[in-house]
């Protein structure tokens, strides 16, 4: 049984079928990528899987449990964490505090109690801080722990967001265009970090515009076009797939 199974999932926005009867599976311990032109439905599919949008039909099973229609925090609690195409950090908080927000999903006292600094939350707070620092160290951003989110470069913000998602200790990590806005060196670093995360045993589903990046790190690639799945195969087969070549060279997407 796959870690994630998406079966005949559909979503319509007004007259637009954003996701059209899509099915696929992600095996535990692998990196699966989702590519396709702008507007193909990639982010919508992520929103459906992570509970930010409810499907019109179909089923999504995660760890052998039906999760379609659950709220985002319920999906997160089941072991799924995500990042966003448009970075969402708390601007006035430090990098460390931003990462610790992710960790609070794991504390029993909860986020509110922690914000109120109730005494019984103190020990969990310290544990959360240690864990957050450990993750920032792993991603090479420990030196930025005290820096306010607004003072970080774009690439650094992407890594803080990634650390926050990892702080949830997910079984499945959803990354929506983690290399968007990064330069070539930062993109290469991001690719190596993503491979290292997979090697830690975390399964990854990644949406990416940079096709060469996903060709290098993915075990399998799904191609979406106009909300429909066009191909779902290993990178070498995707590269040779005629429908895929037509979509990428046919002027649908510059």
Catalog residues that contact ligand ADP under the rule CB under 6 A: 13, 16, 18, 36, 38-44
Q: Is 203 in the site for Mg ion (CB under 5 A)?
A: no
Please identify, using beta-carbon distances, which residue of 124 and 208 lies nearer to Mg ion: 208
Closest by CA to 139, choosing from 87, 94, 197, is 197
Least distance in Å: CB of 229 to ligand ADP? Answer: 12
Q: How far apart are CA 141 and CA 1, in angstroms?
A: 36
- Report residue 236 as tokens: 């070498």
Task: Look up tokens 């019984």; give the residue.
Answer: 120
Cβ atoms 61, 101 nearer than 8 A: no
The site partner of 40 among ligand ADP, Mg ion, none (C-beta below 5 to 8 Å per kind) is: ligand ADP
Question: Is the Cβ of residue 29 or residue 72 nearer to Mg ion in the bound state?
Answer: 72
Mark the segment that binds Mg ion (CB under 5 A) among 77-85, 116-124, 148-156, 161-169. Answer: 77-85
36 binds, among Mg ion, ligand ADP, none (CB under 5 to 8 A by kind): ligand ADP
Of the candidates 207, 181, 216, 217, which has an alpha carbon nearest to the alpha carbon of residue 83? 207
> What is the enclosing helix (H) or strand (E) of 110?
helix 110-115
Question: Which of these, 204, 229, 202, 233, lies nearest to 217 by C-alpha position?
Answer: 204
Which 29-48 positions form the footprint of Mg ion (CB under 5 A)? 42-43
Nearest distance from C-beta of residue 200 to Mg ion, angstroms = 26
Binding site for Mg ion (CB under 5 A): 42-43, 85
């Amino acid at each position: 049984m796959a870690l994630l199974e998406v079966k005949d999932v559909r979503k319509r926005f007004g007259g637009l079928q954003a996701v059209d009867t899509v099915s696929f599976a992600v095996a535990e311990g692998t990196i699966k990528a989702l590519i396709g032109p702008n507007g193909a439905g990639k982010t919508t599919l992520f929103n459906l899987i992570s509970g930010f949008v409810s499907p019109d039909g179909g089923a999504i099973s995660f760890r052998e449990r039906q999760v379609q229609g659950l709220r985002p925090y319920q999906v997160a609690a089941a072991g799924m964490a995500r990042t966003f195409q448009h970075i969402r950090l708390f601007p006035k908080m430090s990098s460390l505090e931003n990462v610790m927000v992710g960790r609070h999903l794991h504390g029993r006292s909860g986020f509110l109690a922690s914000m109120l600094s109730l005494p019984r939350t103190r020990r969990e707070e310290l544990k959360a801080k240690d864990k957050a620092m450990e993750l920032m160290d792993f991603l090479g951003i420990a030196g930025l722990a005290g820096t306010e989110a607004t003072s970080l470069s774009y690439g650094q913000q992407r890594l803080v967001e990634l650390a926050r998602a990892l702080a949830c200790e997910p079984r499945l990590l959803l990354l929506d265009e983690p290399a968007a806005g990064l330069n070539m060196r930062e993109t290469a670093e991001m690719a190596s970090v993503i491979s290292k995360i997979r090697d830690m045993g975390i399964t990854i589903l990644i949406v990416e515009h940079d096709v060469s990046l996903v060709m290098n790190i993915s075990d399998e690639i799904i191609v979406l076009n106009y909300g429909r799945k066009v191909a779902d195969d290993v990178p070498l087969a995707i590269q040779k797939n005629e429908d895929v070549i037509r979509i990428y060279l046919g002027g649908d997407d510059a």
